[in-house]
Amino acid sequence: MEINKNVEDDGVIFMSIKENGNEIHGSAGSGGDDAGDVTILAIESSCDETAAAVVRNGREVLSNIISSQIALHTVYGGVVPEIASRKHVEKINGCVRAALSEAKLTLDDIDAVAVTYGPGLVGALLVGVSEAKAIAYAKKKPLIGVHHIEGHICANYIENKDLKPPFACLVVSGGHSHLVIVRDYGEYEIIGQTRDDAAGEAFDKVARAIGLGYPGGPKIDKAAKEGNSDAFTFPQAKIAGADYDFSFSGLKSSVLNYINQAKMQGQELDANDVAASFQKAVVEVLSEHAIRACKEYGMDCLAIAGGVASNTALRELLEKECAANNIKFCRPSPVLCTDNAAMIGSAAYYEFIKGKTFGLDLNAVPNLPLGDRERRYHADKNR
């Protein structure tokens, strides 16, 4: 995975991600599009990343462009929805243009346009949805609405070319913590979820409390490498009668209480030790649930997805536990764990080949539930 970064005048980071350097573009540029190939232009704008990608047959990424606003929101300690929406409007055309140009294709070469339509920030989602609808209308291309979390799960297909359902997937992002059995392409059975805070949310809140700032996950990940993970024992919530559910608010409160107490007693706070001990408590409970789910559901493969899946300690622990339990461990590269449009192009492909497309009345659904097919519908096929 090769990442080319450029910081723009407004602080937004423009990234072009290439699998194995330029090789992938060679295959696109050489015109190798077979009759049965499906090439999808995908758009993602659910939070603070404006992204566009071109994906062939669900697994071959011809281009992957991410315009990250993280630096703009850092000063506020979190994502400011209004700023996010405005930046998406400014950046989206440039991202789509760059994605097409890196894939050496034009809109005429695209078979369908895909877009995240939920869950996420409504104003942010609407920018991507409007862009995708405009392209679909102008170029008379089919439109595919994609669930953001299904996209995260499908990021696993990009680098694990042999991965096929069924498998178990631990989805841990800023807004979601789910344990899912992927029964088939597009068929998700949720067996566990968070009762309160999402894993990423807990990382962000604890990071803020120990003065590491936003975004918390990557900062805790880094600080934990310098700290002692056994310095403190924080609680790992178990929920009676709900074996696979998570709860992170008790853990978060326990860390915050420790910090406040230390402050009141005038004790020096070792942020690295707190980060390492907190992280250990989170990743151990995630790993324990995921491995148990694989065993009890007879799954021989575990995948991980979402921003927290890029956490070094989680990846190391799951690698070890999967090996010890004879389970294949699949994980996307860190840059494909956080928000991107390549994963949306992958998810869209499996909808498209089933004939599931959407009409131009597609709207943003900020609280779209995972695996909810009722809110989906098939578009007028004659368009």
Residues engaged in binding Zn ion (CB under 5 A): 173, 339
- Phi, psi dihedrals of residue 195, rounded to the nearest 5°: -90, -20
The answer to whether residue 175 forms part of the interface with ligand KG4 (CB under 6 A) is yes
What span, in angstroms and rounded, lies between the C-alpha atoms of 92 and 95?
5
Tokens of 168: 């178990």
Toward Zn ion, which CB reaches closer, 58 or 120?
120
Toward Zn ion, which CB reaches closer, 39 or 340?
340
Toward ligand KG4, which CB reaches closer, 155 or 302?
155
Q: Name the residue with tokens 């809110």.
A: 375
In 3-state terms, the chain is what percent helix, strand and coil (to 5)?
Answer: 40, 20, 35
* Count, residues near ligand KG4 per rule CB under 6 A: 20
The answer to whether residue 203 forms part of the interface with ligand KG4 (CB under 6 A) is yes
Contact positions with ligand KG4 (CB under 6 A) in 124-153: 152
The minimum distance between CB 240 and Zn ion, in angstroms, equals 30
Kind plus residue range of the DSSP H or E element containing 18:
strand 13-18
The minimum distance between CB 370 and Zn ion, in angstroms, equals 12
Which range binds ligand KG4 by CB under 6 A, 23-31, 76-84, 101-109, 169-177? Answer: 169-177
* Three-state helix/strand/coil letters over 274-329: HHHHHHHHHHHHHHHHHHHHHHHCCCCEEEEECHHHHCHHHHHHHHHHHHHCCCEE
Toward Zn ion, which CB reaches closer, 39 or 173?
173
The answer to whether residue 345 forms part of the interface with ligand KG4 (CB under 6 A) is no
Contact positions with ligand KG4 (CB under 6 A) in 23-52: 47
Contact positions with ligand KG4 (CB under 6 A) in 325-344: 338-339
**Can you spell out the DSSP letters for 218-286?**
HHHHHHHTTS-TTS--------TT-TT-B--HHHHHHHHHHHHHHHHTTPPP-HHHHHHHHHHHHHHHH
Contact positions with ligand KG4 (CB under 6 A) in 247-306: 306
Q: Which stretches of the chain bind ligand KG4, using CB under 6 A?
A: 47, 152, 173-175, 200, 203-204, 215-218, 221, 306-308, 310-311, 338-339
